[in-house]
Amino acid sequence: MIQFNNVSFGYSKQKLLYTNINLELTAGSVYGLLGKNGAGKSTLLKLMAGLVYPLHGKLSVFNANPTKRAPSFMHEVFFIPEEIDTPSLHVLDFGAEHMPFYPKFNNEQFLDYLKEFDIPMTNLNNMSFGQKKKVWIALGMASNASLIILDEPTNGLDIPSKRKLRKLIASVLNEDTCIIISTHQVKDLDSLIDKIILVDEGEIIVNTDTDSITEKLVFKLSPDISSTEQYLYYESSLAGNLIVKERTPEDETTKLDLELFFNAGINNKNGIKQLFN
Amino acid sequence: MHFHSNKAIYIQIADLICEKILSGIFKEEERIPSVRELAVDLEVNPNTVMRTYEYLQDLAIISNKRGVGFFVNTESIERVTAYLRKEFMEQELPNLFKNMKILAININEIDQLYQHYLQNNLNNSNEKK
Delineate the domains of chain B, giving CATH numbers in brackets: 9-76 (1.10.10.10)
Last residue of a domain, one of A177, A201, A225: A201
Cβ-contact A132, A162 below 8 angstroms: no
Contact A28 B8 (CB under 8 A): no
Whether the CB of A224 is below 8 Å from some CB of chain B: the reply is no
Same domain for A237 and A181: no
Q: What is the mean pLDDT of residues A208-218?
A: 92
Q: Is the dihedral of CA A169, A170, A171, A176 positive or negative?
A: positive
Number of other CB atoms surrounding residue B91 within 10 Å: 12
Same domain for A45 and A172: yes
Same domain for A31 and A123: yes
Torsion angle of C-alpha atoms A241, A247, A250, A251, degrees rounded to 10? 50
Q: Look at residue A160 and tell me whether its pLDDT is greater than 60.
A: yes
Q: What is the mean pLDDT of residues A127-143?
A: 95
| Segment (H or E) for A188 | helix A186-189
Same domain for A67 and A86: yes
**Who wins on pLDDT, B1 or A244?**
A244
Same domain for A128 and A74: yes
Whether the CB of A26 is below 8 Å from some CB of chain B: the reply is no
Same domain for A228 and A195: no
Cβ-contact A100, A94 below 8 angstroms: no
Same domain for A229 and A133: no
Cβ-contact A225, A236 below 8 angstroms: yes
Q: How far is A267 from chain B (nearest CA, A)?
A: 22
Whether the CB of A192 is below 8 Å from some CB of chain B: the reply is yes
- State which residue of chain A sits closest to B10, comparing Cα positions: A255
Same domain for A247 and A187: no
What does the pLDDT read at residue B125? Answer: 65
Task: Calculate what percentage of chain B has a pLDDT beyond 70.
Answer: 95
What is the greatest pairwise CA distance in chain A? 65
Whether the CB of B6 is below 8 Å from some CB of chain A: the reply is yes
Task: Calculate what percentage of chain A has a pLDDT beyond 90.
Answer: 78
Q: Look at residue A98 and tell me whether its pLDDT is greater than 70.
A: yes
Q: Look at residue B129 and tell me whether its pLDDT is greater than 60.
A: no
Whether the CB of B73 is below 8 Å from some CB of chain A: the reply is no
Same domain for A145 and A34: yes
Same domain for A144 and A50: yes
What does the pLDDT read at residue A123? Answer: 96
Count how many domains chain A has.
2
- How far is CA A16 from each of CA A3, A23, A77, A200, rounded to the nearest angstrom? 19, 17, 26, 13
Whether the CB of A56 is below 8 Å from some CB of chain B: the reply is no
What does the pLDDT read at residue A173? Answer: 94
| Tens of pLDDT, residues A51-77 | 999 999 999 999 899 999 999 999 999
Q: How many CB pairs below 8 Å do chains A and B form together?
A: 60
Same domain for A215 and A125: no
Interface with A, mutate which of B9, B43, B101 (most A CBs under 10 A): B43
Specify the pTM. 0.88
- Mean of all residue pLDDT scores within chain B: 90
Q: How far is A218 from chain B (nearest CA, A)?
A: 9
Q: Which of A170, A254, A257 sits opposite B45 (nearest CB)?
A: A170
For B77, the 3-state DSSP assignment is helix
Q: What is the mean pLDDT of residues B4-29?
A: 90
Whether the CB of B5 is below 8 Å from some CB of chain A: the reply is yes
Number of other CB atoms surrounding residue A76 within 10 Å: 23
What does the pLDDT read at residue A252? Answer: 83
Q: In this structure, what CATH number is given to the domain that contains residue A185? A: 3.40.50.300
Cβ-contact B51, B45 below 8 angstroms: no
Kind of pairing between the strands at A18-25 and A233-237:
unpaired
Last residue of a domain, one of A201, A231, A250: A201
Q: What is the mean pLDDT of residues B91-113?
A: 91
Using an 8 Å CB-CB cutoff, list chain B residues near A191. 1, 3, 9, 42-45, 48
- How far is CA B78 from each of CA A205, B14, B21, B92, rounded to the nearest angstrom? 46, 15, 10, 20
Using an 8 Å CB-CB cutoff, list chain B residues near A211. 51
Q: Look at residue A3 and tell me whether its pLDDT is greater than 60.
A: yes
What does the pLDDT read at residue B126? Answer: 61
Give 3-state DSSP helix, strand, coil % of chain A, rounded to 5: 35, 30, 35
Give 3-state DSSP helix, strand, coil % of chain B, rounded to 5: 65, 5, 30
Cβ-contact A237, A223 below 8 angstroms: no
Same domain for A223 and A182: no
Q: How far is B69 from chain A (nearest CA, A)?
A: 17
Using an 8 Å CB-CB cutoff, list chain B residues near A173. 45-46
What does the pLDDT read at residue A164? Answer: 95
Tell me the residue range of the domain where A149 lies.
2-201
Q: Look at residue A227 and tell me whether its pLDDT is greater than 90.
A: no
What does the pLDDT read at residue A45? Answer: 94
ipTM field: 0.84
Q: Look at residue A239 and tell me whether its pLDDT is greater than 60.
A: yes
| Tens of pLDDT, residues B27-74 | 999 999 999 999 999 999 999 999 999 999 999 999 999 889 999 999
What does the pLDDT read at residue A249? Answer: 87
Q: State which amino acid sits at residue A231.
A: Y
Last residue of a domain, one of A178, A201, A224: A201
Whether the CB of A260 is below 8 Å from some CB of chain B: the reply is no
What does the pLDDT read at residue B127? Answer: 58
| Tens of pLDDT, residues A27-54 | 999 999 999 998 889 999 999 999 999 9
Q: Look at residue A148 and tell me whether its pLDDT is greater than 90.
A: yes
**d(C-alpha A251, C-alpha A224), whole Å:** 17
Contact A252 B7 (CB under 8 A): yes
Q: How far is A230 from chain B (nearest CA, A)?
A: 20
- Mean of all residue pLDDT scores within chain A: 92
Q: Look at residue A181 and tell me whether its pLDDT is greater than 60.
A: yes
Using an 8 Å CB-CB cutoff, list chain A residues near B39. 170-171
Q: What is the mean pLDDT of residues A136-148?
A: 96
Cβ-contact A221, A236 below 8 angstroms: no
